Structure 1
Amino acid sequence: MSFTYSAREMGSFTTHTHTSCRCPSHGHTYSQVPERPTLGNTDYAFEMAISNIRYGEGVTKEIGMDLQNLGARRVCVMTDKNLSKLPPVNAVLNSLAKYGINFQIYDNVRVEPTDQSFLDAIRFAKKGEFDAYVAVGGGSVIDTCKAANLYAASPTSEFLDYVNAPIGKGKPVTVPLKPLIAVPTTSGTGSETTGVAIFDFKELKVKTGIASRAIKPTLGIIDPLHTLSMPERIVANSGFDVLCHALESYTALPYNMRSPCPSNPINRPAYQGSNPVSDVWALHALRIVAKYLKRAIRNPEDREARANMHLASAFAGIGFGNAGVHLCHGMSYPISGLVKTYKPKDYNVDHSLVPHGLSVVLTSPAVFAFTAQIHPERHLEAAEILGADIRTARIKDAGFILADTLRKFLFDLNVDDGLAAIGYSKADIPALVKGTLPQRAVILAEDAFLMSKVAGLVVVFQRRG
C-alpha cells in the first residue's frame, strides 16, 4: 500500500500529532527539519561522479557493439591528424564497420586545443546532428569532443556561457547530452573519467576550461595496447600529469573547508576539494607512478609498466576529477599559454608547445615546498611513496623533503631544468602570475591571490641542487 501527499497536505502533518500508534516503527510524525547550518558558509558534503570504465587488452574491438547497443545511427569520431593514421583509430573504425555503425570522422583536433579549435569542432558537431560521439586520442581529443557534444546539445548557448568563471559565466549544464565513448591513447589526463575540458583562451593567453559532471564521457575504453606506440617523451610528460593529479588532489583543500556552500546541488563544483573517496584513488595512482613510470618511459616493450600507467591515469582522473587540483595546474596554464618558441621532442606539431604534463611538473618542487604548511603529514606520506626515507624526518620539513624527492625523481627522467629551460626569465614573472590568478576553478585555497603570488615568484628558476 502506498500514499501520495501534496506539499500542502505534507505541511498539515507539522501541526497535528497522531497518537493512535506509539511503536518505534509507526509512532513518528512528519516534521519540517530545520536546515543544517554550515560553519562559515563552507560546504558539508561531497559527491563522486565518474564515467563507466572498461579495461583490457584489445577491448577497443567492443566499441561497435556498444554503439549498436545504444541504438546509435549517426556517430561522430573525433581524433587528430597524427592519430588518424595509427592503430588505435584503425581499431575503432574496424569495429564500427564490423557492426554496421554509420560514422563521420573529424580529425582536425589541435594538440593543446584553443577556443578557436573548440569552436571548429563544435561547428562540425552541430552540422552533423550526431546521436553519439567517439573520442580517440589524448586529453586534447577527449576534451574537444566533450565541448562539441555540449554545445551541439545546447545550440543557442554562447561559447562563454559554460566556460569557468571569471573568464566565462560558469553556468550549470542542464541540457541532456549525447553518449560519448572515450578511447584514451595516452596515459596522463584521465579525461576519460572526468567532467573537465581544458583549452587555451587565446585572447588572454591563458588556459581555462569547462568543468561540469554533465560532460563526462559515458564510457571510457582503457585499452593498454594503445600505449605501446607512444614515444618516450610523450610517455614521460603524460606520466608527469598523472603524478601531479595524484599529488594535488591528495593535498587539495578539504571539501568541508571550501566555500561558499552551494545553495543547490547543481551548483556544487566538479572540483570539490580532497575527500575520503578521492584520497583512495589518488594514493593508489601515486603508488603506481612510483613503481612503473620510469620503466614505462625507458622501455617501450615493458607492457606491464605501460598497462599499469594506463590504469593509473584513470585512477588519478577519478581522484582529481572530484577533488580538484591546485597550484601546479593553476600555474601550468599560463606556462603553456605564454609559450614562445619551445618545441618538445617527440611531438609532431607545427606550433610552439609546452606539453601539459611538462608545464605542470616543472613547478611541482616549489609548489609542494610551499603548500606543505597546510597538510605536512600528507606531504610526508607522498614523499615516502616516491622513495624518501622519512623515519627521522621532522614534520616541519615535510615540504622540503617532498620537493627534494620530486627533484631527484625528475632529474632521473631528464626533465627540462626549470622554466628557464623552456624559454622563461625573471621578466616573465608578472605575466605568469597574472595568468595564474583567473584559475580560481582549480586553485582550491583560502587565498588564491596570495598563493599564486608567492608560488609564481618562487618557481621561475627551479634549478636542481
Structure 2
Amino acid sequence: MAARESVTQLMRLISSASCKCPHHSQKFSSALPGAHVCSSKHHATSAAPDSSSKEYAFEMAMSNIRYGEGVTQEVGMDLNNLGCKKVVLFTDEGIKATPIHSAVLDSLNKNNVNYDIYDRTRVEPSDKSFKDAIEFCRAGSYDGYLAVGGGSVMDTCKAANLYASKPDADFMDYVNAPIGKGLPVTHKVNPMLAIPTTSGTGSETTGVAVFDLEDMKAKTGIANRAIRPLLGIVDPLHTRYMPERVFAYSGFDVLCHALESYTALPFNERTPRPLDPKERPAYQGSNPISDIWSKHALRIVSKYFKRGVYNADDMEARSNMHLASTIAGIGFGNAGVHLCHGLSYPIAGMVRSFKPDGYVADHPTVPHGLSVVITSPQVFDFTAPACPERHLEGAELLGADITNAKRADAGKILADVMRGYMHDMKIEDGLKPLGYTTDDIPAMVEAVKPQTRVTKLSPREKTDDDIAMIFEKSMSVY
C-alpha cells in the first residue's frame, strides 16, 4: 500500500508540475521552492547550452536491486547467467569469519563458478589499498566482480573494476576534481554484483567509491555512474552478524543520506548546466523522484533504527533498516549529499588514535557514519534558513511534533532531533572524544575545500568561517 501511494504521489507531482509550453513536458516548477519558470532562452532550441546557466534537468540512475531473505544463494546462478568465466570475490577478514562468507562460497561452488578471493580490503580504504586491489585484478584478468561486505568492500571492488578494465589509466584520472582529473568514464567496465552486509552506505546502488588520500590526510573519491553495480543483492539475513556499534554508526549514514539529499540544493538551482549530458554529475541536487526515496527512508529510520541497534534478533527492525539503506542510496545517489558528508572527510582523514568498538581494523579509524553524523546538529541548524519547510518536515518524519513550530525555529528543532537520536544510540559527545581540538580546525577547514562535489549542494551559501564555526560548535554535541 505504501509503495502504491508513493507511485501515485509521484505521478500527481509530475502531472501538476508539467510545463505547458511545447518545448518542455515537465518543468517541476511547482514541485520545488525556487524552481525556475519557463523563459524564452530555454526555448531557443537551436542555441547551444549555456554553461553558466542553471541546470534544467535531472537524471535517475541506479543498480538493479533484489531483496529478500536468502537471496544470497542465487549469486552463483547470476554470475553464470552473465557468462562470467573468471570472477573475483571481494571481501574482508571480518566477513570471512561469518556464515555470510560460507553462504556465498556455497552458491559459487554449487554453480561451478571459477573464482579467486581478494580479502585484503581495508576498513575505510585508502589510495594505497585501492591500488593494491587494482594490481591484483589487473594480474587476474577477471570478467566478473562480486563484492560481499560493507561500503569499504564495495567501493574497493568498484575502483578495482574501473582501473583493471583500463590498464593504461593513471590513478588520478578518475579521482574527483579538483584533487584528481575527474575524467568521464568512456571505456567498458565488467559486470559487478554487490551483496551488502551492513545497513548504511547504500553503495550497492551508487556509482561512488570513497577513499582516504593519505598524503593529503583527506577523503575523496570517484563518482561516475559507470562504476555502479549491475545488481545489488540485498539479503536481510546478513544483518544478524552486525555488532551493535557497527549497526549504530551505519544507521546514521542512512539517516544523513536521506536528510542531506532531501535538504540539498534543488537540481534546477545548480550551476553550471553541462554542455553535454555525459558531463551531468551523479550528484545533481534534490529532485521530485529522489525526494520520495529519501522521505520513505526517514520514515523507516524513525520506526526501526533504535530497535535494530539494541536487539540483533529483531529481524523486523534489522531487515527494514537494511532496506532503508538501499532506499536512501537510491535517493542520495542521484540527489547527492552536502555538508555533513563534506565535513566528514577531514574528520575521518585526519584521525590520529581513535579506534571504534566492533570494527576489525588494525589502524585508527573514524567509521564513516560516525564522521558524518557528529556535525549534523550544527549543519542542519546552519542550513535550515535556506529551506525551513524541508528541515521541519525532516524533523517530523523522524518523530518530532511540529504542530506549532515556526519556520525560524526549523534549524533548532531538527538539530535537537538529531541530538536525541545520537544520545539514544550512545554516539560520542562531539569531536573531542574522537581526538580533535580547536587547534585542528584551520587544517580541517582547508581539507573541506576540495570537497566541492558535495559541499556545493549545500542549500545555503557558506564561507570558510561558517565551516570553522560548525566544527567549533561540534567539539561537543550534548
TM-score when normalising by structure 1:
0.91
Residue 184 of structure 2 corresponds to residue 151 of structure 1: no
Structure 2 counterpart of 1:194: 206
Partner of 1:460: helix, strand, or coil? helix
Q: Which amino acid aligns with 2:95?
A: L
CA-to-aligned-CA distance 1:103-137 (integer Å, 9 cap, x gap): 00000000000000000000011111001000000
Quote the RMSD (CA, aligned, Å).
1.5
Number of the residue aligned with 1:364: 376
Letter in 1 for 2:213: F
Q: 2:467 aligns with which of 455, 458, 463?
A: 455
Q: Amino acid of the residue matched to residue 254 of structure 1?
A: P
The match for 1:11 is none
Residues 1:208 and 2:220 aligned together:
yes
Match of 1:311 in 2: 323
In 2, the alpha carbon distance for the partners of 1:261 and 1:185 equals 37
Contact kept? 2:387, 2:459, Cα under 8 Å: no
Instruction: Please state how far the C-alpha of 1:453 moved relative to its aligned partner.
Output: 3.6
2:343 corresponds in structure 1 to: 331
Instruction: State the Cα distance separating 1:33 from its structure 2 match.
Output: 3.8
d(CA) in 2 for partners of 1:381 and 1:456? Answer: 27
Partner of 2:61: 49
Mapping 1:276-287, distance limit 5 Å: 276-287=288-299
Hey, what does 2:25 align to over in structure 1?
none
Residues 38-437 of structure 1 mapped to structure 2, 5 A cutoff: 41-437=53-449
Q: Once the 2 structures are TM-superposed, how far is the Cα of residue 83 of structure 1 from its aligned partner?
A: 1.1
Inter-partner Cα distance in structure 2 for 1:157 and 1:448: 37
Query: Do 2:290 and 2:331's aligned partners in 1 also have CA atoms closer than 8 Å?
Result: yes
SS in 2 for 1:210: strand
**Contact map agreement 2:123 2:360 (CA 8 A) in 1:** no
Q: Distance in 2 between matches of 1:303 and 1:214?
A: 34
Kept after mapping to 1: 8 A contact 2:386/2:460: no
Q: Equivalents in 2 of 1:389, 1:452: separation in Å?
A: 34
1:127 aligned counterpart, secondary structure: helix
- State the distance in 2 between where 1:448 and 1:161 align: 31
Aligned residues: 434
Contact 2:51–2:272 (Cα < 8 Å) also in 1: no
Deviations along 1:38-57, whole A, 9 cap, x unmatched?
Answer: 69511110000000000000
Give, as a single letter, the amino acid of the residue that structure 2 aligns with 1:214. Answer: A
Structure of greater Rg: 1
- Separation (CA, whole Å) in 2 of partners of 1:300 and 1:230: 8
Identity, % of aligned pairs? 60
* 2-structure distance, mates of 1:458, 1:191: 27
Secondary structure of the 2:69 match is: coil
Find the aligned partners of 1:452 and 1:50 in 2 and give their Cα distance: 34
Helix, strand or coil at the partner of 1:263:
coil
The answer to whether the 8 A contact 2:49-2:275 is kept is no
Q: Distance in 2 between matches of 1:175 and 1:61?
A: 31
Whole-angstrom distance in 2 between the partners of 1:267 and 1:315: 25
Shift in alpha-carbon separation, 1:131–1:373, aligned structure 2, 3 A: same
> What is the distance in 1 between the residues matched to 2:86 and 2:72?
19
Judge conservation of contact 2:244–2:310 (CA < 8 Å) in 1.
yes
How far does residue 456 in structure 1 lie from its aligned partner after superposition? 3.0
Select between 442-451 and 275-284 the one with higher mean Cα deviation. 442-451
Displacement after TM superposition at 1:36 (Å): 7.6
* Per-residue deviation, 1:157: 0.8
Which amino acid in structure 2 is aligned with residue 225 of structure 1?
Answer: L
Counterpart residue identity of residue 335, structure 2 = A
Alignment-mate amino acid for residue 261 of structure 1: R
Q: Greater CA deviation, 454-463 or 131-140?
A: 454-463
Give how far 1:81 is off. 1.4
Confirm or deny: 8 A CA contact 1:187 1:239 kept in the other structure: yes
Q: CA deviation at 1:412?
A: 1.3
Partner residue of 2:453?
Answer: 441
Q: Could you tell me how far apart the structure 1 residues matched to 2:125 and 2:104 are?
A: 23
Deviation at 1:409, TM superposition (A): 1.4
The whole-number CA distance in structure 1 between the counterparts of 2:227 and 2:460 is 26
Note closer, same or farther for the CA distance 1:454–1:114 as it changes in structure 2 (3 Å cut).
same
State the shift of 1:448 in Å. 8.9
Q: Are residues 33 and 259 of structure 1, via their aligned partners in 2, closer, same or farther at CA, if it must alter by over 3 Å?
A: closer
Cα distance change, pair 146–452 in 1 and its aligned pair in 2 (3 A)? farther
Amino acid in the other structure paired with 1:278:
S
Alpha carbons 1:187, 1:227 under 8 Å: kept: yes
Unaligned runs of 5+ residues in structure 1 are 1-31
Q: Structure 1 residues 446 and 233 mapped into 2: Cα distance closer, same or farther (>3 Å)? A: closer
Structure 1 residue 347: deviation in Å? Answer: 1.1
Alpha-carbon distance between aligned partners in 2 of 1:431 and 1:95, rounded to the nearest angstrom = 48
Alignment CA distance shift 1:38-1:379 (3 Å): farther
What's the offset of the Cα at 1:405? 1.1
Report SS of the residue matched to 1:442.
helix
| Structure 2 partner of 1:28 | none
Q: Could you tell me whether the CA contact under 8 Å between 1:366 and 1:455 is conserved in 2?
A: no
Residues 304-352 of structure 1 show CA distances to partners (whole Å, capped at 9, x for unaligned) of 0000000000000001111000000000000000001111111121110
Aligned residue for 2:66, secondary structure, equals strand
Give, as a single letter, the amino acid of the residue that structure 2 aligns with 1:210. I
Once the two structures are overlaid, the 10-residue window that deviates more, 403-412 or 105-114, is: 403-412
Task: Please tell me whether the aligned partners of residues 49 and 273 of structure 2 are also in contact (alpha carbons under 8 angstroms).
Answer: no
- Amino acid across the alignment from 1:457: M
